[in-house]
Amino acid sequence: MKRAFTSTLIGFGMLIGLQANLCAQVSESLLFELTTDPRGAALGGSVMADFEDDLHAAAYNPCLLDTNQKNFITLDYVDYFAGIGLATVNIQLTNGKKWKKQVGTRFLNLGQFDGFDGAGNPTGSFNGGENFVYFGASRPINPNNPNWSIGTQSFIGTRSLDREVSAWAGTECFVHGKWPESRTAIGVALTGMGRQWNWKSSQPNGALPYNLQLALTKGFQNAPFTVFLKAQHLETWDLAPPGTYDDTIDPITGEVVQNKTFKFGDQLMRHMNIGVAIKPSSNFQIWTGFDYRRRKELMATDRLSANGLSLGVEFKMGNFDIRMSRSRYHFAGASTHIGLRFNPRQFNKNNRS
């Protein structure tokens, strides 16, 4: 197992090095940066480590596929801002002897835009969007020790704006360890790694921005809550916008106002997502989370509001598991996440009976 684990870590390093040597990165996509899973959104970001399987979260980490559940489907939708919406459809396939597998699609609707020619004359409206299909699989590193597993997910898709179209392709890699008896899990993930090609457009060729993530999840035997910690975008230490730590000039006195921000702490926290899940019963859960970076970057002067905070719930209704959450980005609004999980074969059985 040690040899396989070491080889996997070496593979991570090679992939990061290869990505760094590609062309300049193109603009990032919400399809990779914003999770559609209501539970992940409520916990501050997509879940990369868990001691319990979860098909919703598996759309972002195939190591979380449930071995005991087959043919289930999850539908997740995000009502973002200004007509922008994201959705994910994930299907767990029949498990093989070694591999757990899934297939799905994720798409982003950017809404409708008004077009104008060079002289400023209207040319009609047009739509924009991004989408891709993916195939993911995971398996234990050592069949005799199912605690450690590896996963991979490949995707192919397009980015379009009117008649401007670019093509995508890429792969993602995962290492996951879980110990249900101690209610502990850890995960390492390299997501969003791929390349964009100019197909029918003037959009640039280049590497898609990737995200190196490290996650720790810890539950407690005698308490009904679980803590989720995740560090993301570890490939870049300083995520703060330029000028964040610069001193300023008082416009009245002209004196230099020293920036008293604790730079190291601020830089560290911009990587962190923190979430707590409370499970009063097997049929009901409550989640809450905090994203420090979101709060700092979308903070309006003198109007902190609740930006950076999120809240969600899950409950069962008949053959459906229903999830809902709200994520606060700015005092001007919040996003709503809705998710369903069901097995179509259950409906066939009910109809037959």
**Dist CA 192 CA 172 (whole Å):** 6
| Predicted pLDDT of residue 11 | 47
DSSP element (H, E) containing 153:
strand 145-161
pLDDT tens, per residue, the chain with 353 residues = 444 444 444 444 544 444 444 445 688 888 998 999 999 999 999 999 999 999 999 999 999 998 777 778 999 999 887 778 999 999 998 777 789 999 999 999 987 777 777 777 777 777 889 999 999 999 999 888 889 999 999 999 999 887 788 999 999 999 999 999 999 999 999 999 999 998 877 778 899 999 999 999 999 988 889 999 999 999 999 999 898 898 888 888 888 888 888 999 999 999 999 999 999 888 899 999 999 998 888 876 656 677 889 999 999 887 889 999 998 877 667 889 999 998 876 655 555 54
Tokens standing for residue 152: 């991979």
Give the 3-state secondary structure percentages of the chain, helix then strand then coil, rounded to 5. 15, 50, 35
**Dist CA 246 CA 72 (whole Å):** 52
Decide: 330 and 300 in contact? Cβ < 8 Å.
yes
Chain center to CA of 182: 26
Query: SS3 for 287?
Result: strand
Residues shown for the chain: 353
Question: Which residues, in sequence order, are CB contacts of 34 under 8 Å at separation 6+?
Answer: 41, 78, 80, 86
pTM for this one? 0.84
Compute the half-sphere exposure of residue 326: CA atoms within 13 Å on the CB side of its CA.
6
Cα 101 to Cα 152, 186, 200, 313: the distances in Å are 10, 21, 33, 27
Other CB atoms within 10 A of residue 216 CB: 15
**Dist CA 175 CA 185 (whole Å):** 11
| Predicted pLDDT of residue 222 | 84
Outline where the chain has alpha helix (H): 2-20, 30-33, 38-42, 55-58, 263-269, 292-297, 344-352
Handedness of CA 41, 44, 45, 46 (dihedral sign): negative
**Dist CA 60 CA 151 (whole Å):** 11
Q: Which domains does the chain have, with CATH numbers?
A: 2-115+126-234+271-352 (2.40.160.60)
Q: Exposed, middle or buried, 150 (CB in 10 Å: 0-12/13-18/19+)? A: buried
